[in-house]
Structure 1
Amino acid sequence: MATMLAGRLEISSRKFDVREVPVPEPGPGQVRIKVRAAGVCLSDVHLIDGTLTPLFLETPEVTLGHEVAGEIDAIGPDVPDRWREGQRVALEAGERCGQCPNCVRFRDPCLQVRTRGVDYDGGWAEYALATQHTLIPIPDDLPFVQAAIVPDAVSTPWGAVTGTGQAQPARPAGVWGAGGLGAHAVQLLRLIGAAPIVAVDPLEAARERALEFGADLALDPGDPTLREQILALTGGSGLDVAFDMAGVPPVREQAVSCLGLGGRLVLVGLTPKPLTVTDGIGFSYRGQRLLGHYGSQPGAVEQLIELARYHRLEWSRSISGTYPLADAATAVEHLERKEGNPIRLVLVP
């Protein structure tokens, strides 16, 4: 039996290691991908440390990795002819459950989306399986390391900016947390014409990076004049929309205080901590809203790949480092400690 390296997490013990496992064979409607790049996300860190737990995993352990790009290596039965061996693809970060009422009735969205590398085996491996519905062709001039991060690090803020948050041209927007998601949120807000854009991060290097990515103002959350500076920048009106990319409770309270009339706070960063709004009366009086967000809408990854195809977007600045698959644990440690203030670290099998 052929074997391969894979980064496996045992859920009960949260033990993670890279070891030899059988190479998977594609079933009906599936292809096998030779993985060329796989992103390392804070969600992976939180799965390992126990902060996050899979909702739908049916096995005691799972191969991590929901940001994946590579080449089709083998094709199973019932896969349409448009997919061929050697084709360059990125993989959607999740797929429909096929069982909920919306899936049975062919409606969007699925009510119980399964996440790759969480609810079923992902791409921290030399080979990975994917259903043909989750394949996104990528252009020859888009490097695998960049394509791999699109299905989460880029598409999640894209979904938050254009979908949940409904950011608008010439309207003020704020981003709290300028790391892996936040830096891309700034880039994407700039792309759609939001203005002004404010980035908030405690790290000076992250603030400088946010300015390079397109922010008009970058502030330290510990600055006692933060709210006053944002109000001054927006002519006293406050932010139209704010995005919590950090998943830190104090961030949310601060962001709410900077919202204007009808302002929206979009919760993108994940945390198990409770949600609180100190000034509940003011929040209601000003018609403000808290909006949860997870992942992206159908078609988001295709949109971003098309923008990259026509050179409206590129992510060379987003790749902070690459690691061999065998060193996945080291990559996780470096991300957890934020060594070098990374946007995205990528495993290269």
Structure 2
Amino acid sequence: MPHTMRAQRFYSATRTYAVEDVPVPEPGPGEVLVKVEFCGICHSDLSLINGTFPAQLPVVTQGHEASGTVAKLGPDVTGWREGDRVILAAGKPCLDCPNCRRADFSNCLRIRLMAFAYDGGWAEYTVGQAASLTRIPDNVPFEQAAILADAVSTPFGAVVRTGKVAVGESVGVWGVGGIGTHIVQLARLVGAAPIIAIDLNPAVRGRALELGADYAFDSRDEALQDKISEATAGRKLDVAFDAVGLKVTFEQALDSLTVGGRLVGVGMSAETPTIGMTAMFGLSKKQVLGHLGYQNVDIETLANLVSRGRLDLSRSISAVVPLEDIAHGIEMLEKQDGNPIRILVRP
């Protein structure tokens, strides 16, 4: 085991980052050290750098979608061996708030998020809780396994848990990038029909059709609401997912709902949308639901679906960059170079 490793370090005071030599962390009780194989670059990582998300630490290693192998066991860890292929969940419950005391860990009031409240996976090694690890099936590549820990599990949670999409319900997805693409695939997997993708980019709309959408419309189309109504036999949408988080996408998605429809907000920004007149909001019985993250068991469910060929993520890895070129990967995502679904870092 080396004493030092290469890791990206983000400095919140200056909003700058660099790849540096740092000590290899030591796993504590109930923890394991993981040698990172791949780690995704997510829009929330960019949001920390640009200041949309407030920093929680003066210096932190970013990256929260990591796969790798167990390199060392901390004290009292059982059930795992060195060399096991694993995915790390991207959060630690505080274990002390009222929800945690009720064993409702997924709704912890003071959840600590990987790459924000503690060091993440843009490094050669990272530490995770043994209880939060998921074993990777032998036939699932490390690349696809990495993105299960957010880029796919967050959409899964949005579709299955928050949106509660039922067989035959109509679904609209605003923004069909890294998160929205997987919302489309998972909505199709649970039997939604029709599925409508809405995006500015014609290439992205075409990709959405190939991956499971029944229709793909331009959000700037003045006839968008008419097209959604026509595609749903006049009912409009049962469930709308805003994977962008802008005021315009949120409000457009809300306007597209049928009576009693659900809007699930997944994308995030600093913008402030409205729900319009409260009288109309009440009369329409619409629901607006915020969504963040997933339950740890969701990663195992998704790994099983990928392993059995029920969920195809072969097109989800758009590029891989070495850790030393992390700046290039971040720039590719910022500029949407090549319309990426997910860009990975390989330490």
Q: TM-score, normalised by structure 2?
A: 0.97
1:95 to 86, 92, 95: 92
Which residue of structure 2 aligns with residue 37 of structure 1?
Answer: 38
Offset, 1:105: 4.1
Offset, 1:98: 1.9
Distance in 2 of aligned mates of 1:275 and 1:133: 38
2:255 to 257, 267, 277: 257
Contact 2:248 2:273 in 1 (8 A): no
Q: Deviations over 1:215-254 (max 9, x none)?
A: 0000000011110011011111110010000111101111
User: Is the deviation greater in 105-114 or in 4-13?
Assistant: 105-114
Distance in 2 of aligned mates of 1:96 and 1:281: 39
- 5 Å-filtered alignment, 1:195-214, equals 195-214=193-212
Offset, 1:298: 4.1
Distance in 1 of aligned mates of 2:88 and 2:292: 17
Contact 2:132 2:296 in 1 (8 A): no
- 5 Å-filtered alignment, 1:117-128, equals 117-128=115-126
Distance in 2 of aligned mates of 1:192 and 1:25: 41
Q: Deviations over 1:22-58 (max 9, x none)?
A: 111111111100000000001111111111124xx3x
Which residue of structure 2 aligns with residue 237 of structure 1?
Answer: 235
1:84 to 81, 86, 89: 81
Distance in 2 of aligned mates of 1:169 and 1:30: 40
For the pair 1:47 / 2:48, whether they are aligned, the reply is yes
Contact 1:169 1:195 in 2 (8 A): yes
Q: Deviations over 1:165-214 (max 9, x none)?
A: 11111110000000000000000000000000000000011101110110
Contact 1:163 1:297 in 2 (8 A): no
Which residue of structure 1 aligns with residue 103 of structure 2?
Answer: 106
Q: Where does the alignment leave 5 or more consecutive residues of structure 1 unmatched?
A: none
Offset, 1:104: 3.3
Contact 2:246 2:273 in 1 (8 A): no
Q: TM-score, normalised by structure 1?
A: 0.96
User: Is the deviation greater in 304-313 or in 203-212?
Assistant: 304-313
1:154 to 146, 152, 155: 152
Which residue of structure 2 aligns with residue 73 of structure 1?
Answer: 71
Q: Deviations over 1:251-290 (max 9, x none)?
A: 1111111100101111000112223123443222110011
Distance in 1 of aligned mates of 2:101 and 2:7: 33
Q: Secondary structure at the match of 2:34?
A: strand
Q: Secondary structure at the match of 1:35?
A: strand
Distance in 1 of aligned mates of 2:129 and 2:223: 51
Distance in 2 of aligned mates of 1:66 and 1:187: 22
Q: Secondary structure at the match of 1:181?
A: helix
Distance in 2 of aligned mates of 1:196 and 1:288: 19
Which residue of structure 1 aligns with residue 218 of structure 2?
Answer: 220
Distance in 1 of aligned mates of 2:30 and 2:156: 28
Residues 279, 227 of structure 1: alpha-carbon distance in 2 compared, 3 angstrom cutoff? farther
Distance in 2 of aligned mates of 1:285 and 1:341: 39
Distance in 2 of aligned mates of 1:230 and 1:15: 43
Which residue of structure 2 aligns with residue 24 of structure 1?
Answer: 25
Which residue of structure 2 aligns with residue 315 of structure 1?
Answer: 313
Identity over aligned pairs, percent: 49
Q: Secondary structure at the match of 1:317?
A: coil
Q: Which runs of 4+ in 1 moved over 4 A?
A: none
Q: Deviations over 1:277-309 (max 9, x none)?
A: 234432221100111111113421111111112
For the pair 1:291 / 2:292, whether they are aligned, the reply is no
Give 2:19's aligned amino acid.
V
Distance in 1 of aligned mates of 2:42 and 2:183: 16
User: Is the deviation greater in 209-218 or in 299-308?
Assistant: 299-308
Pairs aligned (count): 345
Contact 1:4 1:126 in 2 (8 A): yes
Contact 1:62 1:117 in 2 (8 A): yes
Q: Where does the alignment leave 5 or more consecutive residues of structure 2 unmatched?
A: none
Offset, 1:128: 0.4
